[in-house]
Amino acid sequence: MSRRKLQEVDASSIADIAFILLAFIIIATTLEKESGLPAVLPQKRDNTAEKPPEINEKNILEILINKEDQLLIEGEWDKTLDDIVDVVKEFMTNPTDAENLPRMDVVSEEECRKNLAILKANKETAKGTALGIINDQIEKWETKLEAVKLVGTYRTVNKAATIAIQYDKATTYGKYIGVRDKIMTGLNELRDQKAMDAFGVTYSSLESIRAEVKTEEDKAKINAIRQVYPQKIIKLPPKEV
């Protein structure tokens, strides 16, 4: 056995190894996160399903993009993307109760409780599909009640109101996204305003809280604001325009 103490391994090259690893990771990765405009597609409709409900003209805000990427908003040509913001805001709030805009509903705590009481009474006797419908309704009114508790009595568009985007097959994707983006701008401005009045913070700042630190309270606030100004955008099947 050697009497000499074991010599320490020379560690100076570890720095070099670490540097090579570092260089590899930097090259192979990206800091950019995936971001964009979220959307939910409608479910596939089987042909046997019942006819779509009657559509009332005033409940639809039609934005049309033709094959030359020109905009037609509610029958008027020569609109720019920026016009959409105001049109959407007017459509969603109908500030003057105009006849040609969707009817507004006022949701109050009293009304929610009243409807819930009726529904729960009906639930006792309901069976089969009727029970399912009542359960859905109860859930709906409960979310409304949650919202009312947070933001107080609110005014919202009736549930049939929809923003519809019509386009041609040759419309470019970029233009379509531009339109969607502007619709969201209009909606988010309204939401920001509502959140500012109710909670003293903007909706976008609530929304941008990272998922890991978002509390239940934040989520409830976001849902309440979404109840007041829901995102209802549909995409009509393409046609020659």
Give the alpha-carbon dihedral of 26, 28, 30, 34, to 10 degrees: -160
The site for other proteins, by CB under 8 A, has a size of 47
Tell me the C-alpha to C-alpha distance, in Å, between residue 168 and each of 42, 60, 171, 241: 19, 19, 5, 6
Residue closer to other proteins by CB (options 23, 131) is 23
Angle, helices 173-199 vs 81-93, to 10°: value is 40
In contact, 82 and 184? CB cutoff 8 Å: no
Q: Find the binder of other proteins among 178, 193, 222, 232 (CB under 8 A).
A: 178
Of residues 34-53, which lie at the interface with other proteins (CB under 8 A)? 34-44
Among 145, 161, 184, 190, binds other proteins (CB under 8 A): 184
Residue bearing tokens 């549930």:
159
**Least distance to other proteins, CB of residue 107, Å:** 25
Residues 175, 176, 178: CA angle, nearest 5 degrees:
60
- Does residue number 221 form part of the binding site for other proteins (CB under 8 A)? no
Give the distance from CA 224 to its chain's centroid: 12
106 binds other proteins (CB under 8 A): no
Contact of 85 with 179, CB cutoff 8 Å: no
Query: Among the candidate windows 32-40, 86-94, 133-141, 222-230, which touches other proteins by CB under 8 A?
Result: 32-40
3-state secondary structure of 50: coil
Residue from 6, 9, 15, 49 that binds other proteins (CB under 8 A)? 15
Query: In terms of CB distance, is 26 or 118 closer to other proteins?
Result: 26
Residue 30 CB, nearest approach to other proteins (Å): 5
Nearest to 157 by CA among 24, 14, 60: 60
Total residue length of the chain: 241
Asked if 30 touches other proteins (CB under 8 A), the answer is yes
Q: Counting contacts by CB under 8 A, is residue 188 touching other proteins?
A: yes
Identify which of residues 68 and 110 has a Cβ nearer to other proteins in the complex.
68
Give the count of beta carbons closer than 10 Å to the beta carbon of residue 220: 14
Q: Which residues contact 145 (CB under 8 A, 6 or more apart)?
A: 109, 112, 113, 116
Span from 30-38, 92-100, 104-112, 216-224 in contact with other proteins (CB under 8 A): 30-38
181 binds other proteins (CB under 8 A): yes
CB of 101 to other proteins, least distance (A): 23
Positions in the binding site for other proteins (CB under 8 A)? 11-12, 14-15, 18-19, 21-22, 25-26, 28-31, 33-44, 167-174, 176-178, 180-181, 184-185, 188, 207, 211, 235, 237-238
